[in-house]
Structure 1
Amino acid sequence: MELTLTPLEFARRARRLHPQREAVVDRDLRLTYEQFFDRCDRWSSVLRSMGVAHGDRVAYIAPNTHAQLASFYAVPQLGAVLVPINFRLTADDFVYIVNHSGAKVLCVHADQLDAVDTVRDRMPDVERFVALEGAREGWEDYEALVAEASPDFDRPEIAETDLLTINYTSGTTARPKGVMITHRNAYMNSVGTLLHLRIELGQKYLWTLPMFHANGWTYTWTVTAAGGTHVCLPAMDPARAFELIRTEEVSWLCAAPTVLIMLANTPEDVRGTVPPGVHVVTAGASPAAQTIERLEEDFGWTVTHAYGLTETSPFITVCEKRPEHRGLSVRERGTLKARQGVELITSGELRVIDDKGDEVPWDGATVGQITVRGNVVMKGYYNDPEATERAMGDGWFHTGDAAVTHPDGFVEIQDRIKDVIISGGENISSVEVEGVLLRHPAVLEAAIVGVPHERWGETPLAFVVAHEGTSPTEAEIIAFAREHLAHFKAPTQVEFVDRLPKTATGKIQKFVLRGGASAVSRQ
């Protein structure tokens, strides 16, 4: 008999082989795998008593806590569909996502209870409102329900093509879309992650990445598959993160480039002693080579760059180590590690194609769009057949990312297709220019957008966040760029800002930047 490819299989195995191994650390709470999955079963039993059945949606608005982690097991083992919502969104966003997904039960952390209370009457399909922490009048108490419940419930048959989660995109310029991830999608991503980024039995993983973000890049299941320990960090506080890395002897963490920058630039008196040997996986946007160099050279950490999208479960490439990389200098390795890399063994087929649909040559220069098909590509957008057809109607998922393929097969993103700057007929990669500016010692963050120009059509405009205590000038930044780039690629204007506008998952909102510094300051 064939077994269904589902991440729930990782739970069964961990429970059988490692019942007394530590599974979860959440503030003062420590749970073995036996204790954690007993709680998951009890919550499944409660949800069943609430009428949650196969295919029903259960939504969560919560940071990285043990209760949020449990949702990735307790909901899908009922055959139900988990909807993890970005807790940094607005109350109106909560209404849209809860209603669009048709969630039957809504589970909310204490920090978001006030926001949800203001819009509860606009969520007519929600039958039960549960407070994961801080229960009060009008809310059911998660901990009390779990404590009183039986761990016994009827386990339904689950197909690997069944929906596991609906993950909503960030929706920077339009309404967010619900990405349908199947049990097979998540299983294959987790297995591929373990093959390329091997967590060892008993190692500890720090939750610096939000679990809601593409299911925590499937580390919600991958860590369990490895028999590791989930160390919860509800809010990204660098001092607390470094403390946990030391005291819990953390070996792994994932971080978007914005968090990498935060960690790399945490003052020594705040971060304290930095233990070496931590493995960092970064994705979500192209990290600056300089940031990678800092973490590897100064901290003694190992940084691996992966690439993917919510629609691809998420990983489709990884910047894998190769023997020929060993002799490279720190700077050369940093530049290489900033590339997106090659297909994971399990992800499927990736091609960079031109406008005619033909694969571009592997010359590191010809730009095309990344397309992918295979095991990790979503089932489609929930209740949106038109968007599904546009994105993957020809059998390939079209990412919207412009990239080149190097002779060694490594893919390197140049830009979002919509963000490529065309100046005097020449294409300029904002990612390339940003990478150069980030090497300037006074630049903490940088973003490049194209703005209209009478002669050239478009010209690069740089937005720069300077390191505290520095005062770089526009002329200095432009001269630095011209020293390291072809002159037509260098920004012709520089705007200094206190911060860059970002989505709730840390992606820079370039559509806001195109409105100029005044638009940025209003964010």
Structure 2
Amino acid sequence: MIIPLTPVRFLEYAEKIFKDKEGVVCEGERFTYGEFCRRTRKVSNALKSLGIQKGDRVAYLGYNCHRLLELFYAPPVIGAILEPLNIRLAAKDFEYIISESTPRVLFLDKDFVPVIDSIRAKIPSVKHFLALEKNPGLPGWIQGTYEELLEGSSAERSYPLGEYPFDEDDPAEIFYTSGTTGNPKGVMMTHRNLYLHALCAMSMMTVRETDIQIHLIPLFHVNGWGTPHYLLAKGGKHIMVKRFDPVKTLEVLEKERVTRAFVIPTMVNSMLVVPNFKTFNLTSVKEILIGGAPPPRGMSERVEEAFGCIAHSGFGMTETCPLIVLPELSEDLDPEEYRHRRHDTWGRPLPGVEFRLVDPNGKDLSWDGKSVGELLVRGDMVMKGYYRQPEETGKTLEGGWYHTGDLCAVEPDGQLIVKDRKKDIIISGGENISSLEIEQVLYGHPSVLECAVIGKNDEKWGEVPLAFVVLREGYRVTPEEFIQYARENMAHFKAPREVKILKEFPKGGTGKILKSVLRDRYRSK
């Protein structure tokens, strides 16, 4: 029997098996899975009434909320494509993305009405501008709201069970990259990609019906790390948080008895320095995954001590839906191996994922934990391609392998160790210096809240390491002290030649530090 592989089947499963179970909590609103699925069906049918057909794009510009979670399913149910937009982009980026992808419907939060109004005349493909919520003062070109769209719409299936109006290789989602090295690229994720990504992730990472997961990572970022699919498939509870705030997050963790959280390193730093952190009851938390950027050395250990749970990393990117690496963890493991998998590596390739490690000439390198090369990936979750960019697609998927641009080592049993991005390697006097290695050393200094390292142009050496540091509150440390600290903890030629103290870093939509902006500002100064 051959049935199309699609995340829509997760929705069908949840609405039958978990219909009476509370599934979504969002800013005071609570929905059972039955209610969530009925709302999703209503939105899907309402989109059809607007003329949305197979292959049409439906864009969303707003924060995390239950409506975005519903839209992970509503357009794909009818063969349309969800296109969440990064809220941190500028007007010119929105204009470029919308002009290329030509969505017919745009749902938007009131906060983004001004920026869309400024480019509205340049995005004629959008026929329906719909606000997420009813608010006073909305302009006349807003044609209604999300909730008004649901009113009067049917919650019935629009086709018989299993007779899907799409193929499994049709795109279900388009996520645009942040465009830090050029124009943003639209990553097409197919129904098959998303379905198998969820199954492969669940095969490595235990997901339970009793899980209560807080959504701190913006769902417009790389498929929400897959949680809209595999958590729903297992009947876990989604806790939606509109914006990350460290104190509010700790309050929600305590109130909702959250068991699992996915975070980026900057979120961890923000929570751990909350003055009354120890007054919160966080005993429900069982697992924290730190991703989005390589965590500083020792961060997983600090999180485990502070939260009393296990903490580990994972690895992936937009083009792979995103997860391709997770540690397989069991308390039955040898204690040192259990620690090693959580704290020293990013994990193993998921079932269905294949790795190659190659040198600059494309020659395969040994999996010995020491040889460093570019990671190439092949698997069921690798994207269909970049939307309307066949040349970029061909280059990135050359030879039938996705070229990640990440420099890694792989241990004999497949454990991945990320060394750096190819573009972040500093070549100084012919020596390759890892910016990540320097950052890991600097994070060992008690005064460092955040840091980043880039290569600065140098007449003699070609490039030299330039470090940037944001200090923890109450600390005063000079750049010279940081340089000395680095020289005491690593080879002198790798230590930064210059350190700049900043008040804050430029960051992307998830809070990730934008090294591209730092290079533009400081590389040639």
Superposition TM-score tier, normalisation by shorter sequence? over 0.9
**Aligned residue number for residue 240 of structure 2:** 232
Shift of 1:271: 7.2
User: Quick check: 1:340 aligned with 2:343?
Assistant: no
Aligned to 1:170: 178
The question of whether the paired residues in 2 share the 8 Å contact of 1:423 and 1:456 is answered with yes
Query: Secondary structure of 2:400's partner?
Result: coil
State the shift of 1:404 in Å: 1.6
What is the CA–CA distance in structure 1 between the aligned matches of 2:382 and 2:57, rounded to whole Å?
Answer: 21
Aligned residue in 1 for 2:369: 364
Out of 379, 392, 401, the residue aligned to residue 397 of structure 2 is: 392
CA deviation map 1:201-233 (0-9, x unaligned): 132110101111111011111110110111110
What's the secondary structure of 1:448's corresponding residue? strand
Alpha-carbon distance change, 60 to 248 in structure 1, aligned in 2, over 3 angstroms: same
Q: Distance in 1 between matches of 2:270 and 2:300?
A: 12
Instruction: Using the TM superposition, give the Cα deviation of residue 313 of structure 1 relative to its aligned residue in structure 2, in angstroms.
Output: 0.8
SS at structure 1 position matched to 2:98 = helix
**Alignment-derived partner of residue 473 in structure 1:** 478
Query: Aligned letter for 1:397?
Result: Y
**Partners of 2:167 and 2:212 in 1: CA distance:** 31
Matched, 1:154 2:162: no
Residue aligning to 1:487 = 492
Gaps of 5+ in 1: none
8 Å CA contact retained: 1:290, 1:334: no
Cα distance in 2 for residues equivalent to 1:51 and 1:515 = 44
| Paired residue secondary structure (2:298) | helix
Q: Is the 8 A contact 1:513 1:519 kept in 2?
A: no
Query: Residues of 1 paired with 2:334 and 2:271: CA distance?
Result: 25
SS in 1 for 2:151: helix
Q: CA deviation at 1:394?
A: 1.1
SS in 2 for 1:23: strand
User: What per-residue deviation string (whole Å, max 9, x for no partner) do you get for residues 63-91 of structure 1?
Assistant: 11111110011110011011111122222
Residue 148 of structure 1, CA deviation: 2.0
Name 1:74's counterpart in structure 2: 74
Q: 1:17 — aligned with what?
A: 17
| Aligned counterparts of 2:344 and 2:169: Cα–Cα separation in 1 | 34
Q: Is the 8 A contact 1:243 1:271 kept in 2?
A: no
| Residue 461 of structure 2 is aligned to residue 453 of structure 1 | no
Residue identity matched to 2:473: E
SS of aligned partner of 2:248:
helix
- The answer (yes or no) to whether the contact 1:23–1:33 under 8 Å persists in 2 is yes
In the other structure, the counterpart of 1:87 is: 87
Change (3 A) 1:6 1:44: same
Structure 1 equivalent of residue 256 of structure 2: 248
- Tell me the equivalent position of 2:141: 138
Q: State whether structure 2 residue 200 is matched by structure 1 residue 192.
A: yes
Contact 2:468–2:500, Cα closer than 8 Å, also in 1: yes
Question: Offset at 1:342?
Answer: 1.5
Residue in structure 2 matched with residue 44 of structure 1 by the alignment: 44
Over the aligned positions, Cα root-mean-square deviation in angstroms equals: 2.2
What's the TM-score once normalised by structure 1's chain length? 0.94
Structure 1 pair 515–174 and aligned structure 2 pair: CA distance change class (3 A): closer
Deviations 1:372-422 (A, max 9, x none): 012011000000001001101211010111112234432212111121112
Distance (whole Å) between structure 2 residues aligned to residue 153 and residue 19 of structure 1 = 16
Aligned length: 517
CA distance in structure 1 between the partners assigned to 2:37 and 2:26 by the alignment:
15
Conserved? CA contact 1:289–1:335, under 8 Å: no
* Counterpart-to-counterpart distance in 1, 2:491 and 2:414: 25
How far, CA to CA, are the matches of 1:335 and 1:410 in structure 2? 8
- The change in CA–CA distance for 1:336 and 1:241 in structure 2 (over 3 A counts) is closer
Picking from 315, 318, 321, the partner of 1:313 is: 321
Following TM superposition, by how much is the alpha carbon of 1:260 offset from its aligned partner in structure 2, in angstroms? 2.4
Q: Secondary structure at the match of 1:13?
A: helix
How far residue 274 of structure 1 moved from its aligned partner, in angstroms, is 3.3
Moved over 6 A (4+): 322-325
Q: Distance in 1 between matches of 2:279 and 2:505?
A: 24
Q: Deviations over 1:96-120 (max 9, x none)?
A: 2122111011111222223222222
Asked if the contact 1:44/1:153 (under 8 Å) is kept, the reply is no
* Distance apart, 1:511 and its partner CA: 2.7
Q: CA deviation at 1:157?
A: 2.7
